[in-house]
């Protein structure tokens, strides 16, 4: 039994299938992460054209089959190609890393529209941004939060409540005072400006990220994500 489904989606990766087809892994709004068989997609003049390039947002029509994990793609119409991101080496690197992490965080058939919307917002901002690394860090930070690991950053020391805490503990997921950071591994000491930026990263509009984050903040964000998401440095580089 099969049914026809229409959904927006983002192409995460593709691979060759047999002589002339492709399998595209797509994160969709309606059915989560799925694998779609695009018959004839590798033939010259294929009707799918550039719609299956990584990072492309499309309107997909596909046949969902209850007993199979590989569904058949009927059509893919480009909504936003993000071609510019693939033409620039710096943004291509960030795009590839975002899609790789998105694949890791998404599960087959599991819908997560907040993560989907975050990804689109970051990719759209990357088109015009002069700070691709900062947007990458913001994506890592918010994706970790949306995966169920929100830090406690709007309060004082998470152990005793002291308000002057400026040390961030990766393992405890929040700020700790000098007394309660002793002996802690993976603790980052932030200045007041860095602390304020870290707090704002959770809700600042993506398009307002203009400048590069400090190296301390970048390392904190990536280490926090690796620790809580159980990811390695191949997925989230230092």
Token pair for 126:
């990357």
Is residue 22 included in any domain, yes or no?
Answer: yes
221 and 119 housed in the same domain: yes
20 and 129 housed in the same domain: no
> Does residue 137 surpass a pLDDT of 90?
yes
28-82 tens-digit pLDDT: 999 999 999 999 999 998 999 899 999 999 999 999 887 788 999 999 999 999 9
57 and 166 housed in the same domain: no
140 and 23 housed in the same domain: no
CATH number for the domain harbouring residue 168:
1.20.1440.120
Q: Give the domain range for residue 39.
A: 2-81
pLDDT value at position 50? 93
Question: How many Cα atoms occupy the beta-carbon half-sphere of 14 within 13 Å?
Answer: 21
Is residue 89 included in any domain, yes or no?
Answer: yes
User: How many structural domains comprise the chain?
Assistant: 2
130 and 70 housed in the same domain: no
Domain C-terminal end among 42, 59, 81? 81
Is residue 134 included in any domain, yes or no?
Answer: yes
Percentage with pLDDT > 90 across the chain: 75
CATH number for the domain harbouring residue 33:
2.40.50.140
Residue 23: strand pairing partners: 15, 37
Domain C-terminal end among 13, 48, 81? 81
114-132 tens-digit pLDDT: 999 999 999 999 999 889 9
Higher pLDDT, 226 or 177: 226
Is residue 234 included in any domain, yes or no?
Answer: no
Domain C-terminal end among 81, 113, 135? 81
Geometric angle at alpha carbon 70, from 17 and 118, rounded to 5°: 100
pLDDT value at position 114? 95
How far is the C-alpha of 213 from the C-alpha of 233, rounded, in Å?
Answer: 19
pLDDT value at position 178? 84
69 and 96 housed in the same domain: no
pTM: 0.92
């Amino acid at each position: 039994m099969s049914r026809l489904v229409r959904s927006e989606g983002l192409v995460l990766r593709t691979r060759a299938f047999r002589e002339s087809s492709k399998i595209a892994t797509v994160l969709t709004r309606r059915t989560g992460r799925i694998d779609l068989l695009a018959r004839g997609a590798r033939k010259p003049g294929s009707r799918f054209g550039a719609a299956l390039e990584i990072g492309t947002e499309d309107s997909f029509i596909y046949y969902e089959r209850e007993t199979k994990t590989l569904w058949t793609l009927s059509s893919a119409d480009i909504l936003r190609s993000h071609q510019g991101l693939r033409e620039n080496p710096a943004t291509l690197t960030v795009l590839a890393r975002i899609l790789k992490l998105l694949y890791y965080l998404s599960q087959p058939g599991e819908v997560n529209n907040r993560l989907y919307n975050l990804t689109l917002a970051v990719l759209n901002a990357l088109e015009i941004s002069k700070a691709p690394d900062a947007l990458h860090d913001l994506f890592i930070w918010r994706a970790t939060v949306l995966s169920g690991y929100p830090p406690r950053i709007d309060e004082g020391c998470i152990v005793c409540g002291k308000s002057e805490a400026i040390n961030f503990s990766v393992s405890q997921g929040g700020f700790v005072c000098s007394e309660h950071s002793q002996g802690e591994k993976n603790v980052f000491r932030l200045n007041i400006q860095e602390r304020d930026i870290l707090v704002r990263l959770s809700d600042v509009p993506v398009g307002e990220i203009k400048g590069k984050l400090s190296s301390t903040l970048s390392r904190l964000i990536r280490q926090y994500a690796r620790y809580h998401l159980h990811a390695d440095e191949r997925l989230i580089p230092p």
